[in-house]
Chains A and B, each alone.
Chain A
Amino acid sequence: MTVFLQFLFSGLTVGSVYALIGMGFNIIYNATSIINLAQGEFVVIGGLLMWFFLESCNVPFFAAIGLSILSAGLIGLIMERLTIRPLRTNDLLVMTMVTIAVSIVMRGLLMFKFGKEPYSYAAFTEGDPLVIGGAVIQLQTFWVLGITAACILGLYAFFNLTMVGKAMRACSFDPTAASLVGIPVSRMIMFSFILSAVVGAVGGAAITPISLMEYDKGPMLAVKGFCAAIMGGLGRGRGAIVGGLTIGILESMTAGYLHSGLKDAVALVILLAILFFRPAGMFGNTTMQRLKGH
């Protein structure tokens, strides 16, 4: 039982990280239908900026979080203005490819600024890991889970209750129709990039004490987060958290009960299975997907 609990906790720790990254994919997808493949880099930026403000500038904790979020939002804005906006195209494939290019450039810049070593800082709350039924769970895991939950609630409220949120979703369904009813589509796209950069950065800041952060961690995080988002159905906030946690727990159970060498295959097998059998994801709506016409 202890062993099972330990695998479960390990899966929760990793899964909550995947869920947070999956969320970032969802935001941009909700507003633009683009898959932003630079999402992993936003996470890395969050972790490294947090380190920079905390350890290098000795800024107090909350100010460091604030500064990291602000800077990440700014980077999201710059990315949208410099790369997505000037394209003036509706071709999703082209825009998605541009995000790959941006991710490569960002990795280069991060390597230039931070070097190749991993970085870390103290967990948000000091203290020994919690022991439940003989199994241990790190306190930071609760932070990651809590932040993920807060992000999901916040984003749910934003997309469903506020005008701006609804306008962003409208842009995703049909940009032309949205602009006809007076929604400033390009500004909404910009907002979505800022928002997803911020969510990614918060996630990065939260996971760095657990997993450490280095300049080239982005692609791996992006792949797992992407699988989480696809599993839950792209664009579904609730889907990303279920998807992320499921993948995390399955990975750790596979590592525990089968063999750890098979672990990394789990996410990809799930991705393939979902794409074959339920392309709209576990919580996606097939009709809606078809209506969007992609």
Chain B
Amino acid sequence: MRMSRFLPMAAALMFIVLAAVNGHAQEPVKIGAIFSVTGAASFLGEPEKNTVLMLKEQINKSGGINGRPVEIIIEDSKSDESAAVLAAKKLIERDKVIAIIGPSTTGESMAVIPIATKAQVPLISAAAGAGITQPVKDRYWIFKTAQYDTSAVEAIYAHLKRQGITKVGIVSVTTGFGDAGRKALHDMAKQSGITIVSDERYGPKDADMTAQLTKIKASGAQAVINWSIGPGQVVVAKNWTALKMGIPLYQSHGWGSRKNIELAGKAAEGVIAPLSRLVVWNKLPDKHPQKALLRQYSQSYEARFKSEPGAFGGYAHDALMLVVEAAKKAGTDRKAVRDHIENQVKKWPGTSGVFTMSPNDHCGLDKTAFEMVVVKNGDWQILK
């Protein structure tokens, strides 16, 4: 073989060998992620994916997990339950991850739970449904970082009670999010001393909710509660203002995006919602345990992606950091990670709230994870 041909080949071979050696010396800690990056729930999956990619760089820059780099394998479930199941199997069997974060939606999470449970892999879901972590005896390997819908409802009902309001009209979107919220509103009503006098629905792409609101107004409700995410919330706020309903409008925790204030303009004034502190971090007192973390996450996300992380990005943040911290303190064994999250996470500040996990609670958040926030002069204002 002529020298001129041999040299480049030898060089190439050397690189391959080097790369192999390099890889062996610092074997990465593999964490799986299943997010709805595309499809109907892509508004959840996108900030979640961005968050995880950003955190991975930050973690690896500051020394990884006890010197080992973190590798995060992100699978796109396409907002589809069967795709989520396939992704989970792949992550567990082929990639041999120490834990899985996600999926993004309750439906996909419920589909993946049996797989993770059978394979004994910790799963930290980024979805809100109560069924993900309850009944807890069947959810040994399962955790979640999104607040319960019922906690948001409790926060709203508690605020209503302080205003002396007992009769409410509810309006909700006909999607999984709206269904879950509507159920929570009904379930919590009795024990909170609230009567639902009108219960209306609308489609996710509807252009006008005046008819529903008119009906609520006629029913003698003292407040309106709207449960949706996306453009529906803005349309409801606009219709509520146009109708001059004269009763307060409460939105779900999906309201927490500055974009909603921009889109609704003046119609957003006076709208009240239970929001994750991520949205109002700069209005928290400095001594609040979440403030430093929220500032760091929010600012670095906005600098990099030119958009707000929103509560959804925060769910992925908390899920990943729970796993990373468990792996740092308890090692990368799957059981050790699970045990650490269940027993050692006490008063742990995340983006969604201050978590306290226990064998009886695999979410670790309650209604104190929310602040009641009103829109005033085009900005959020925390209500006392």
Contact = CB atoms under 8 A, between A and B. Distances in A.
Interface of A: 3, 6-7, 9-11, 13-14, 17, 116-120, 122, 129, 136, 138, 207, 210-212, 214, 217, 220-221, 252-253, 255-256, 259-261, 263-264
Contacts, number: 92
Contacts of A138: 242
Given A116-B42, A118-B230, A210 B215 contact: no
Contact of B214 (A7, A116, A122): A7
B50 interface: no
A224 B265 CA distance: 28
A211 B202 contact: no
B127 interface: no
Contacts of B171: 260
A20 B235 CA distance: 20
Interface string B241-266: 01110000000000000010001010
A118 B259 CA distance: 9
B246 to A, nearest CB: 13
A211 B235 contact: yes
B200 interface: yes
B29 to A, nearest CB: 32
B227 to A, nearest CB: 13
A120 B242 CA distance: 17
Contacts of A220: 203, 205
A260 B42 contact: no
Nearest to A2: B214
Contacts of B46: 116
Interface of B: 42-43, 46, 171, 174, 200-203, 205-208, 210-212, 214-215, 218, 230-231, 234-235, 242-244, 259, 263, 265
6 contacts: A10-B208, A10-B211, A129-B242, A136-B244, A220-B205, A256-B211
Contact of A217 (B205, B210, B234, B265): B205
Contact of A260 (B201, B234, B244, B265): B201
B202 A263 contact: yes
A261 B30 CA distance: 45
B347 to A, nearest CB: 35
A3 B214 contact: yes
A58 B271 CA distance: 29
Which one of A9, A17, A136 has the greatest number of beta carbons of chain B within 10 Å? A136
- Dominant SS among interface residues on chain A: helix
Given A220-B203, A255-B200, A260 B231 contact: no
Contacts of B263: 118-120, 212
Contacts of B201: 259-261, 263
Contacts of B43: 116-117
B141 to A, nearest CB: 32
A108 to B, nearest CB: 10
Given A118-B231, A120-B263, A212-B235, A136 B242 contact: yes
A145 to B, nearest CB: 14
Contact of B231 (A7, A122, A211, A261): A211
B214 A263 contact: no
A217 B200 CA distance: 22
A260 B200 contact: yes
Smallest CB-CB A-B distances: 3 pairs: A211-B207, A10-B210, A118-B231
Nearest to B218: A3
A260 B202 contact: yes
A258 B80 CA distance: 33
Contacts of B200: 255, 259-260
A256 B207 contact: no
Given A3-B214, A256-B215, A207 B207 contact: yes
A136 B240 CA distance: 11
Nearest to B43: A116
Contacts of A11: 211
A3 B210 CA distance: 10
Given A120-B234, A138-B242, A260-B200, A210 B207 contact: yes
B269 to A, nearest CB: 14
Given A13-B207, A214-B230, A255-B211, 17 more contacts: A6-B211, A7-B210, A10-B208, A11-B211, A17-B207, A118-B230, A118-B231, A118-B259, A210-B235, A211-B207, A211-B231, A220-B203, A221-B205, A252-B211, A256-B212, A263-B201, A264-B174
